[in-house]
A and B are shown apart, each in its own frame.
Chain A
Amino acid sequence: GQNIDQPTEMTATEGAIVQINCTYQTSGFNGLFWYQQHAGEAPTFLSYNVLDGLEEKGRFSSFLSRSKGYSYLLLKELQMKDSASYLCAVRDWELTGGGNKLTFGTGTQLKVEL
C-alpha cells in the first residue's frame, strides 16, 4: 500500500516563508498533488508535480524528488488567509481508478500568526 507522511501542524508568522514537507512510498508513482482546505470547505487544487524539480505558481511553489519520495510546498509572503490545512496526495498507476486514484496524507494544519 501507500504511506504518506506530513507534519500534523505548523505555525508561522505573517509575511514569512513556510515549507511543508511530504514523504511518500508508492510503487507506481503517477504524480503528487497539493491541496489547500479551509475548515468546512472542499479542498482547492494548488499544484501538481510529476517530474523532479520546482514548480512555481505565484506565492506558492512545489518541489518533487521522485528518487527520495519527497515533496515540499513552499508558501511565501504568508497571509492570515493562508491559515488552512494543506493536503499532500499521491496518484498511483497501479491502483484502481484508471491510474487516477489519489491517496491523501492526513494534512498539515498551518496557523499564520501576526
Chain B
Amino acid sequence: SAVISQKPSRDICQRGTSLTIQCQVDSQVTMMFWYRQQPGQSLTLIATANQGSEATYESGFVIDKFPISRPNLTFSTLTVSNMSPEDSSIYLCSVVGGLAGGHSYEQYFGPGTRLTVT
C-alpha cells in the first residue's frame, strides 16, 4: 500500500524560530491538506496545498505564519514561522485520492509531526 511520510517526526524548538515540515507521498494524489491537532483537541484544517499555486488558508490561519509549498503531486511543505508556545501541536499532512488500494474519495493522514515550542 502507498505510504505518507513526514519529516521530522518530532521537534523541540525555541520561541521565535521557524520549522519546516515535509510531507512525501509515494504516489501522485489529487489533493493535499495540512491539519493541526492541539493537545486534547480534535483536528483543524490549516490550509489546502495547491500544486503550482498559493495555498488556500482557513479562517484564522495566514500565509505569513504558515507558508506552504507544493511543487508537485507527491510533495508539500508547511513552515511554522516565528513560533510561540501556542504553536505546540501535532501537524498532520493529509491526502485525497490516488493511494494504492484506496478509493479516490478516501482521505488519509500522515504520521504527524509533534512540535513543542519552549
Contact = CB atoms under 8 A, between A and B. Distances in A.
A98 B97 CA distance: 13
Nearest to A4: B42
Interface string B77-97: 000000000000000101010
Contact of B107 (A40, A102, A105): A102
Contacts of A44: 109
B109 A42 contact: yes
Nearest to A97: B48
A24 B110 CA distance: 26
A42 B42 contact: no
Interface string A30-53: 010101000011111100101000
Number of chain A interface residues as a range: 20 to 34
Given A43-B43, A87-B42, A106-B42, A31 B109 contact: no
A111 interface: no
A48 B103 CA distance: 10
Contacts of B112: 41-42
B107 A100 contact: yes
Interface of B is mostly: strand
Nearest to A50: B105
A98 B111 contact: no
Contacts of B107: 33, 45, 91, 100, 102
A97 B56 contact: yes
Contact of B111 (A41, A45, A104): A41
A33 to B, nearest CB: 7
Query: What are the 7 A-B residue pairs with the smallest beta carbon separation, nearest first?
Result: A104-B42, A97-B48, A42-B109, A104-B43, A42-B112, A106-B42, A43-B109
Interface of A: 31, 33, 35, 40-45, 48, 50, 87, 89, 91, 96-98, 100-107
Given A45-B106, A45-B107, A97-B56, 19 more contacts: A33-B107, A35-B109, A41-B111, A41-B112, A43-B43, A43-B92, A43-B109, A45-B102, A45-B108, A45-B109, A97-B45, A98-B31, A101-B33, A101-B45, A102-B43, A102-B94, A102-B107, A104-B44, A106-B42
23 contacts: A31-B105, A40-B114, A41-B112, A42-B112, A43-B43, A43-B109, A45-B102, A45-B109, A48-B105, A87-B42, A89-B43, A96-B56, A100-B31, A100-B48, A100-B96, A100-B107, A101-B45, A101-B48, A102-B45, A102-B94, A102-B107, A104-B43, A105-B42
